[in-house]
A and B are shown apart, each in its own frame.
Chain A
Amino acid sequence: MASVELEIDGLRRRYGSVVALDGLSFDVPSGEVFGFLGPNGAGKTTTMRAIFGVASLDAGEIRWRGRPVDEQARRHFGYMPEERGLYPGMKLREQIEYFATLHDMDDQAAEKAATHWIRQLGLAGREDAKIDALSHGNQQRAQLAVALVHDPELLVLDEPFSGLDPGGVDDMRQVLAERAAAGVTVLFSSHQLDLVEDICEAVAIIHHGRLVASGSVEELRRGDRPRLAVRVGGDADGAWARSLGADLGEVEAVRPEGTVLISLTTGADSQRILDLARAAGPIEHFSFEDRRLSEVFREVTGASVGQAEAEHAAAGVSR
């Protein structure tokens, strides 16, 4: 695993009576795509804004390569905020060049980099178009170009996949993977846990401003106890599994079509479960199955992502 580059350490932020960040800590390594996940209102945007100093913190520290993030470090960060923003009346190329110069590039380098990213992101031919004349998808690309143009060491993207069509999701995912492969630290947020579980290698999942799970996606989805999915023909209720002993596993859920999901007890032999099922009838399905990240979330918080968001919306919090 790559070295830790970005450290989020004990962030606290309160807006009036609302606690946005409640001692949030996690580390982001370089060279992989890191997902920062949680329901809307969990505190993701506040954290990302804090990295760029555009949201203030009550307590905590953000470190980049072992040192507190300062203005100089931020020059080498790239940021794509959730609420996209570009000058509507400014030409695409000028806009990208302008942001390059704001990140310490001279005019020549800015021009070169803008040309590169315009081509790379499929915007060639639209250089002289004003931003508000671009299609929604191209505006998203322009926003990404602005975040990438100065070749940042840390790339922070707030909800980069929201509002993208499937093609756009693929393009975005490719860019992120390519940047990570180039050694860039890539941190992106999403409230759609299941949509992005294949996109990132490691994640931090937060809820109510606290970290609730983190680690590699693979490990999180497998969990401490592997999960078996078994369906026996003619047994739509999964009745056969009622005889399952605690020494083997525990029934998590029965899907409508009769598939029983079993959390395997540590050290248990899955073949004994197969025998048990076979005794009940013909096996239609038998496999190890990873959990979705949304299920991981429910396991650790006791609430689904949707419930958490509804609760947040009901609290009337807007940020």
Chain B
Amino acid sequence: MTWLVARRELRQRAKTRAFAISTVVLVLAVALGVALPAILSRNAKPERIGYVGGNAATTTGIIAEAGRLAGVKTVAVPQPNEAAAEAALRSGDLSAVLVGDTEVLVKQVPLGGVSGGLATLAQVAGLSKLVETVPGAAAAVAHGIALPVRGLEPPSKPLSSRLTGLFTVILVWVMISVYGSQIALGIGEEKGSRIAEVLLSSLRPIQLLVGKVTGIGLLALAQAAAMVIAFVVAGYASGSDLVHGAAIGIVLTGGVFVVLGYAFYCTAFAAAGSLVSRQSDVNSTILPVQLPLIIAYILSYTVIYADSANVFYHVLGFFPPTAPIAMPVLYASGDVPLWQVVVSAALLAVATVWMARVAAGIYGRSILRTGARVKLREVLSR
């Protein structure tokens, strides 16, 4: 029976024009958001790679070859000494410096590890050194020996991780608030049009509730999955930094919190929808439900663009109503280790069970009440 209800929701909503358009728009927006910076950077100014010491001809050759392999235009810039090279790195004039044949210097090693053009440079330089110094080293080439890459500053989450975090937060926020409102509106419609009475003459309230949130949830999940796939595909296709290393972990964390957050909020939205007497009143009853999400969402921007999150935001990361947004942000900005993410997810899961019980109770008691809007106190007290 529950599945019949869910199936109706899926069928009725999946074929609406709004769903098709919103899916296409969201997927395109994600794909463009990921691919555009990468495509634009391809035509950007060439990477300026400094070098200190070593044979100038060999070194410029290494840099050119690394650039060719990585598909990046490069310009080799001789540096008088290491100090000058470091200064140029810090000022952003150079993106990497090849120091003799000993190491590659960068301003900051990305948290996810060395990748892309930088890795190619280190590898090519390392190979060249190997071939020069060790006879018959060509056999060792397969091992891909690279020069060490050293950062001048301790690693931090690069902007790309933060941007991925931003993508994740927007995903969680859009999914929960859009589909949550749809739940509340759908239930408001069933109550307002009095169809609930016909439905409940053959269904139990809990079946109607679970069927509704499952159907809408599956739809939300499909749309979220389409967005994540667009993110990954567009990222790889355009060679964007966003899909490397840690960024994928951030998106996966976001996926887990989309699902948990939806599970936590769907029943709350349903309960809010069941309190109204007319569908048009839904917006006012769901506002209190949305409030924690709105707060976490707004504050998340300060975390994403600041160096580190404050204690308050850390608390929000573990508080179930705000965790679906706050925790992915904290993780993306490198403010929490993975185990804290797991703890927060576990707390959220427990809270979801509690919320489902309370909300199903409210829903069951108010869905058939007619007349004025039902006061929350009335349905909680019985």
Listed in ascending order, the chain A residues whose CB lies under 8 Å from chain B are 49, 52-55, 71, 74-75, 77, 79-81, 83-90, 94, 98-99, 101-103, 146, 318-319
Contacts and interface: CB of A to CB of B under 8 A. Distances in A.
B195 A87 contact: yes
Contact of A74 (B193, B201, B371): B201
B17 to A, nearest CB: 12
Nearest to B198: A85
A129 to B, nearest CB: 15
B196 interface: yes
Contact of A54 (B12, B193, B197): B197
Contacts of A54: 197, 200-201, 368
28 contacts: A49-B197, A52-B200, A53-B201, A54-B200, A54-B368, A79-B201, A80-B198, A81-B194, A81-B198, A81-B201, A83-B197, A83-B370, A84-B194, A85-B190, A85-B194, A85-B196, A86-B195, A86-B198, A87-B193, A87-B195, A88-B193, A94-B11, A98-B4, A99-B198, A102-B4, A102-B202, A318-B370, A319-B370
> Could you tell me the dominant secondary structure of chain B's interface residues?
helix
Nearest to B205: A54
B380 to A, nearest CB: 18
B342 interface: no
Contacts of A146: 198
Contacts, number: 65
B203 interface: yes
A63 B184 CA distance: 36
Main secondary structure of the interface of A (DSSP, over half): loop
Contact of A52 (B12, B190, B193, B201): B201
Contacts of B370: 83, 318-319
Interface in B152-201: 189-190, 193-201
Interface string B351-381: 0000000000000000010110000000000
B20 interface: no
Interface string B214-255: 000000000000000000000000000000000000000000
Contacts of B68: none
Nearest to A55: B368
A119 B318 CA distance: 59
B42 interface: no
Given A71-B204, A81-B194, 6 more contacts: A49-B197, A55-B368, A85-B194, A99-B202, A102-B202, A146-B198
A235 to B, nearest CB: 54
Contacts of B368: 54-55
A137 to B, nearest CB: 18
Contacts of A52: 200-202
Contacts of B371: 318
Nearest 10 interchain pairs by C-beta? A85-B194, A85-B195, A52-B201, A83-B194, A79-B201, A81-B197, A85-B193, A102-B202, A54-B200, A101-B4
